[in-house]
Amino acid sequence: MPRSVRFPRLSSQRNAFHNTRESLGELARTYGDMIEAASLHWGSGEIERIRRETRLTAGRIARENAWVKAFCEGWLGRLLETLIYLAVLFGLLSAYRAIGAIDDNDFSWGAIGFTCLWLLAVLAAIVTTRLGFSANLKWRGQEDPEKSLKFKFVLFITWLLSAPVAITGLMSIVAQTLSIDLPVWLSVNVSVSILVLSLEFFARPLLRVVARTWLLPPRHRTRPYDRLFLRLLKSASLVETWRTRWHESARSRFIIAEIEAAARECERTTRTGRRVPLVDGATRKELWNRSHRIASQIRSHKRAIAGSAKADDFSNVSASLCSGVDAISRGDVARLLDSAPEVTAISRIRQATRRVLPAILLFVAAFTLPFVPGINENKELINSIRVTMIAAGVLALVLPADSPTSGRILDTLTRSLTWKEK
The reported pLDDT for the residue numbered 327 is 92
Q: How confident is the model at residue 238 (pLDDT cuts 50, 70, 90)?
A: very high
Q: Where are the domains of the chain?
A: 15-142, 147-219, 225-339, 352-418
From the number of C-beta atoms within 10 Å of its C-beta (0-12, 13-18, 19+), residue 230 rates as buried
Percent of the chain predicted with pLDDT > 70: 53
Q: What is the mean pLDDT of residues 295-314?
A: 92
Q: What is the mean pLDDT of residues 108-127?
A: 61
Residue 84 half-sphere exposure toward CB, CA atoms < 13 A: 20
The DSSP result for 262-328, as a single string, is HHHHHHHTT--TTTS-TT-HHHHHHHHHHHHHHHHHHHHHHHHHHT--SHHHHHHHHHHHHHHHHHH
The reported pLDDT for the residue numbered 297 is 92
| Average pLDDT for the chain | 71
Percent of the chain predicted with pLDDT > 90: 16
Q: Determine the Cα–Cα distance for residues 356 and 364; give it in Å rounded to an integer.
A: 12
pLDDT tens, position by position, 342-398: 777 677 777 777 778 877 887 787 777 777 666 666 666 677 777 777 777 777 776
Query: Quick check: 226 and 61 in contact, CB under 8 A?
Result: yes
The more confident residue out of 414 and 40 is 40
Name 170's Cβ contacts closer than 8 Å, sequence gap at least 6: none
For residue 214, pLDDT over 50 is answered with yes
Q: What is the mean pLDDT of residues 229-250?
A: 92
Q: How confident is the model at residue 137 (pLDDT cuts 50, 70, 90)?
A: very low
Range of weakest confidence among 18-32, 252-266, 284-298, 377-391: 18-32
Query: Quick check: 219 and 13 in contact, CB under 8 A?
Result: no
The reported pLDDT for the residue numbered 5 is 34
Q: How confident is the model at residue 37 (pLDDT cuts 50, 70, 90)?
A: confident
The reported pLDDT for the residue numbered 135 is 47
The more confident residue out of 168 and 253 is 253
Range of weakest confidence among 127-131, 141-145, 151-155, 396-400: 141-145
The reported pLDDT for the residue numbered 173 is 58
Q: Determine the Cα–Cα distance for residues 93 and 187; give it in Å rounded to an integer.
A: 12
Q: What is the mean pLDDT of residues 240-260?
A: 91
For 99, other C-beta atoms within 10 Å of its C-beta total 8
Q: What is the mean pLDDT of residues 22-38?
A: 72
For residue 186, pLDDT over 90 is answered with no
φ, ψ (nearest 5 deg) of residue 116: -65, -40
H or E segment to which residue 209 belongs: helix 200-210
pLDDT tens, position by position, 46-86: 888 999 999 889 888 888 888 887 787 666 776 776 676 66
The reported pLDDT for the residue numbered 228 is 93
